[in-house]
């Protein structure tokens, strides 16, 4: 084979391999259900109150309240927020675009101690 033809064949093989790997990765990702992290809210804490997730990987936060209505907001993560009502589950899907530490808090006044109802989402590589 002449060297030019050899290079063309090599390039085609590389492109095919890359395409296949993208397809396989995509199929694999579609098979993986999104991770659900259960969080309870009560006066005046979330449990767990430190949540570690991976950058760019969607995660569902599933909240339940053990007493009354609480809020949940992460101001620095696209302004995500939710109202957590007792007797039902509330899901919030998050995808963090950047690594870092993001504070969240209750944004619905729930009594004396409401200001202490806080937590952190830690986003890792
Ligand atoms: Cu509150």
Q: Which two tokens stand for residue 109?
A: 């006044």
Question: How many angstroms separate the alpha carbon of residue 8 from the centre of ligand 1?
Answer: 64
Task: State the 10-residue block means of pLDDT for the chain, 125 residues long.
Answer: 62 49 53 92 98 97 98 94 97 96 98 97 98
Residue position matching structure tokens 């939710």: 82
Question: How many angstroms separate the alpha carbon of residue 45 from the centre of ligand 1?
Answer: 9
Question: How many angstroms separate the alpha carbon of residue 22 from the centre of ligand 1?
Answer: 45
Question: How many angstroms separate the alpha carbon of residue 107 from the centre of ligand 1?
Answer: 6
**Residue 79, pLDDT score:** 85
Whole-structure pTM value: 0.75
Is the CB of residue 80 less than 8 Å from the CB of residue 55? no
Q: Which of 100, 117, 92, 93 is nearest to 42 (CA)?
A: 117
Question: How many angstroms separate the alpha carbon of residue 15 from the centre of ligand 1?
Answer: 54
**Residue 54, pLDDT score:** 97
CB proximity list for 63: less than 8 A, separation 6 or greater: 38, 39, 40, 41, 72, 82, 84, 89, 90, 91, 92
Q: How far apart are CA 117 and CA 72, in angstroms?
A: 9
Is the CB of residue 39 less than 8 Å from the CB of residue 63? yes
Q: Which two tokens stand for residue 39?
A: 């969080």
């Amino acid at each position: 084979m002449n060297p030019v033809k050899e290079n063309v064949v090599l390039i085609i093989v590389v492109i095919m391999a890359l395409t296949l790997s993208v397809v396989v990765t995509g199929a694999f990702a579609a098979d993986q259900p999104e991770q659900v992290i259960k969080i309870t809210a009560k006066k005046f804490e979330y449990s767990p109150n430190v949540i570690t997730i991976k950058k760019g990987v969607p995660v569902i936060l599933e909240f339940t309240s053990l007493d009354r209505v609480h809020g949940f907001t992460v101001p620095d993560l696209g302004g995500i927020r939710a109202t957590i009502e007792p007797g039902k589950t509330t899901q919030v899907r998050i995808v963090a675009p950047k690594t870092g530490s993001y504070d969240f808090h209750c944004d619905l006044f729930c009594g004396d101690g409401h200001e202490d109802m806080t937590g952190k989402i830690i986003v890792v590589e």
